[in-house]
Amino acid sequence: MEQMITSLRDSKKARWTALIIVSLSMFGAYYFNYALSPVKPMLESILGWNSSDFGIYTSSYTWFNVFLFMLVFSGVILDKMGIRFTGIMATLMMVVGTGINYWALIHVFPDGAMIFGIKMQVVISAIGFGIFGVGSEAGGITVSKAIVKWFKGKEMALAMGMQMSIARLGTAVALGIALPLATTFSYSSPVLLAFVFMLIALTAFIIYIVMDKKLDASIVKSNNGSTTVEDAFEMKDILFIVKNKGFWYIAILCVLFYSAVFPFLFYATDLMINKYHVNPNLAGTIPALLPFGTIFLTPLFGT
């Protein structure tokens, strides 16, 4: 009997390897997102930042995505250019943004240097974090599309849960080790580690591209030489989405969750130190417990 020709995604080992590889970028992204949160007291004592400066910095992650609609454009680019192009673009932006952020933190600026009434160091750090934010969010939707491609008809929900679990592990690591790392070496050390993670993410995505090309070749072979045509993006798709009530329910849910939980995580370590007088080396472990609900339960819900 003739053996059935299958695509590469029918190999459990191949598709789960692809998942782990693309998830590395999200691990690094979620780590850097909170890498400076536990270090806030050191930024205040060493660099002269205050809570308003830190708020400007943390909010800059969303500047370009929200006010310049970069996340929408990222989705359009992903639909038109595909996973490989968008993924490389996203990881490169994360590398560049993290690099700018690290340079701004270690650079000595002239006393009183301001831009629009804000410390120059804060502004440049925020620009770097904003560029990183564009890459991180573009990378997030790219990884989701990659999972759909590899796990279509397979364990897709479990794979989505595992990806989120790996990403949130990055959050827990940042909250848990950033301050001890900064006190042992330098206040900028958590960001330097984030830059290393971004380089690993870029390397991992290059490896993924090789796997993705092999997947496409195997799909063509299994379809007797024909390629799979995906739905092309059209402007009317945006109108369809905004008219969908289900979309708005989910969007409102995300807005409420993001506005409640994530800002708390940015200030939680500082809260533990100043209000509850927790040892600074242990203070980050308390908010670090929050992501463990995601780490353990999301794969379970996916299953």
CA distance linking residue 67 with residue 18, whole number of Å: 33
Segment 149-169 shows an average pLDDT of 93
Mean confidence (pLDDT) of the chain? 90
Whether residue 1 is predicted with pLDDT greater than 50 in this model: the reply is no
The per-residue pLDDT for 4 is 46
The pair phi, psi for residue 115, each rounded to 5°, is: -130, 115
- Of 300, 269, 9, 59, the closest CA to residue 164 belongs to 300
Please report which confidence band the pLDDT of residue 5 belongs to, taking 50, 70 and 90 as the band edges.
very low
Range among 137-151, 228-242, 289-303 with highest mean pLDDT value: 137-151
Give the pLDDT confidence score for residue 7 in this predicted structure. 79
> Could you give the count of Cα atoms lying within 13 Å of 135 in the half-sphere of its Cβ?
29
- In this prediction, residue 3 carries a pLDDT of 40
Measure Cα distances from 25 to 15, 136, 205, 234 in Å: 17, 8, 8, 29
Q: What is the per-residue pLDDT across 18-51, written as a single tens digit (0 to 9) for each?
A: 999 999 999 999 999 999 999 998 999 999 999 9
pLDDT score at 39 = 92
Predicted pLDDT of residue 258: 84
Model pLDDT, residue 208: 96
Assign 37 to helix, strand or coil.
coil
Least confident of 99-113, 149-163, 189-203, 225-239: 225-239
pLDDT at 23: 95
Q: In the prediction, which pLDDT does 2 show? A: 38
Query: Which residues, at least 6 apart from 134, have a Cβ–Cβ distance to it below 8 Å?
Result: 64, 65, 70, 71, 74, 90, 93, 97
Residue 112, pLDDT above cutoff 80: yes
- Tens-place pLDDT, residues 40-92: 989 999 999 999 999 999 999 999 999 999 998 999 899 889 999 999 999 99
- Separation CA 47–CA 291 (nearest Å): 29
pLDDT at 233: 66
Q: Cα–Cα distance between 90 and 26 in angstroms, integer?
A: 11
pLDDT-derived band at 129, boundaries 50, 70, 90: very high
Residue 162 clears pLDDT 90, i.e. is over it: yes
Per-residue pLDDT averaged across 151-166, rounded? 92
The confidence score (pLDDT) of residue 157 equals 93
Phi-psi region of 120 (alpha: psi -120 to 50; beta: other; left: phi over 0): alpha
Q: What is d(CA 121, CA 113) in angstroms, rounded to the nearest whole number?
A: 8
